[in-house]
Amino acid sequence: MDKLILKLIRRFKTNDPYEIASGLNILVRYADLDESTRGFYYRTLRRRFIVLNNNLDEQWMRFVCAHELAHDRLHPGLSQFWLDEQSFYNPGKYERQANKFAVKLLSTGDCIKSGESIRDMLLRNNIPPQMDKFYF
């Protein structure tokens, strides 16, 4: 996962998930989704989409974009719809991997400073503090 993240950052010269998605020809769309759905990723007719809940604040939108980008990079060929309807896989595993990827991508190049908590570092990188359990 770390090599993949560094490769993306080197290739696109940024850790901005919107720019990386654009560079990978992933279309980012916004929709009025149910409050329990922050976003989702899907493929159709060789096109890839990240759909974000337009009711989220900017911090969460950026994180969810990075999270959904992780599904494209780490779980090609799978979608949440497929997992729910066609398999016995535990989608929790894939969601944890995507959260970890998003935290690593968005915090690349930064580290915890002396006397600082993980949550402080995450906030400095505009990552929701609730994601502290995915920082390693």
- Give residue 45's pLDDT band: very low, low, confident or very high (50, 70, 90): confident
Contact 17, 62 (CB under 8 A): yes
- Beta bridge partners, 52, equal 30, 39
- pTM for the structure as a whole: 0.86
**Total count of residues recorded for the chain:** 136
**Closest CA relative to residue 38, chosen from 26, 23, 56:** 56
pLDDT at site 1: 87
Question: Which tens digit of pLDDT belongs to each residue from 64-103?
Answer: 999 999 999 997 766 554 333 333 444 578 888 999 999 9
CA 101 to chain centre: 7
Query: What is the per-residue burial (b if ≥16 Cβ within 10 Å, else e) of 49-72?
Result: bbbbbeebeeebbbbbbbbbbbbb
